[in-house]
Amino acid sequence: MLVIVAPGQGAQTPGFLLPWLEDPTFATRVGWLSTVAGIDLAHYGTEADADAIRDTRIAQPLLVATGLVAALELFPHPADAFEQIGAVAGHSVGELTAAVGARVITAEQAMVLVRERGNAMAAAAERTPTGMTAVLGGDRAEVLAAIEAHGLTAANDNGPGQVVAAGTREQLDAFAAEPPAKARLMPLSVAGAFHTEHMVPAVDHLAALARSVSTHDPRTALISNRDGQIVHDGRDVLRRLVGQIASPVRWDLCLETMADLGVTGILEMPPAGTLTGIAKRALKGVETFALKTPDQLEDARAFCAKHGEHTPMDTSPTWRMVVAPVKGTFHRDSAAGDADVLVRGATIGDVASTRDRTPVTAGHGGQIVEWLVEDGDLVSPGQPLVRLHPEGVS
């Protein structure tokens, strides 16, 4: 099982695009996305210094564009990707990259959204002095309790020993004065408290724009930052992309889902290194590949071929399938079990995991062709539950 991941803000370094732009095709595609975003991405990826590319308005479009164009270098025939990729995921703004890879939105839509996302988050950060601090090590329960006690938010939960606290400068200063036992604090050079309530104004702005964005259902399993669930409805993906701006990034739950899927290989799109580093510590025995420069492309394609397998979503049109969002025991809804036709949004049951019970709904509705699991069956993330045909839906 191959999973492709896209990094978030902070992964960029000065000049990281230099070797990639030596390829005329890559350079032309970056130029097109620069035009869409209204930003000279080639300049910021080659000549700009660390302070310039740290700016949220610049960093976010730069990261998304790089991931999108590099994906076309890795898979020159995009349809080939669906023969190999089992799932995709992105950390924070990297979710936009992942959404394009899963064919939920287009590259052009992603560039407009990320431009507005970066601008709105930067504007929200200017309202109140806020920031973020990485908490490395320490007892997890004690770390989370200390973050909550100081009124902070665990904005990024990246797995064992890696939590990022976010809030006002005063709250962070008080937290630094009383750190959790055996934990090391590392203030991050970011503009504000991302993925917290301080970003609500940015959510409102992006939500208004998202009403005009058309979507398609994912062509491959997409793992959501919000809760680690497999999301199979394009409209739900877009809602989550918008809401994620002010919600914590639960990368720890994304990693759990990758393990539940049976991942054997994780490839990180450029600028790579951060997420593969986390995966090495959290998913022992899983091979990783950090794609940093174009001279690695042949090895990267070999890595994909080694770990790739058919995604179950390409066996039938995605609008005909309802899939499990998480690993657990499926409980069929009695009304759905007796029905011949499901209306849009109808509950078909839930999946009980070790944490909670997750409702499962029919995003598009349709005539029931066949149930693919029985009540009480164990299911894995992304496993098809019921096959639907759109005819007969009012």
From the list 160, 125, 159, 132, the residue with the least C-alpha distance to 147 is 132
- Cα 48 off chain centre by: 27
Nearest partner of 103 among 7, 211, 219, judged by Cα:
219
Residue from 34, 92, 224, 247 carrying the catalytic annotation: 92
Rg of the chain over all Cα atoms, to the nearest angstrom: 21
DSSP state of 79: G
For residues 118 and 65, the answer to whether their CB atoms sit within 8 Å is no
CA-closest candidate to residue 322, choices 262, 376, 238, 382: 382
User: Which residue type, as a one-letter code, is found at position 186?
Assistant: M
CB proximity list for 249: less than 8 A, separation 6 or greater: 8, 91, 92, 155, 156, 157, 158, 195, 225
For 165, the enclosing helix (H) or strand (E) is: strand 162-168
Phi, psi of 326 (to 5 degrees): -145, 175
Please report how the helices 56-74 and 24-37 are oriented relative to each other, as an axis angle in degrees rounded to 10.
Answer: 140
Active-site choice (34, 91, 150, 195): 195
34 noted as active-site residue = no
CB-neighbour burial class of residue 10 (10 A; exposed 0-12, middle 13-18, buried 19+)? buried
The first and second tokens of residue 90, run together, are 């992105």
Which of 125, 115, 108, 120 shows the shortest CA–CA distance to 213?
108
CB contact at 8 A, 218 and 317? no
Burial label, 346 (beta-carbon count in 10 A; 0-12, 13-18, 19+): middle
195 is catalytic: yes
**Is 11:273 a contact under the CB 8 Å cutoff?**
yes
Q: In b/e form, how buried is each residue of 366-394, taking b as 16+ CB within 10 angstroms?
A: bbbeebebeeeeebbbbbbbbbbeeeeee
Q: Which residues are catalytic?
A: 92, 195
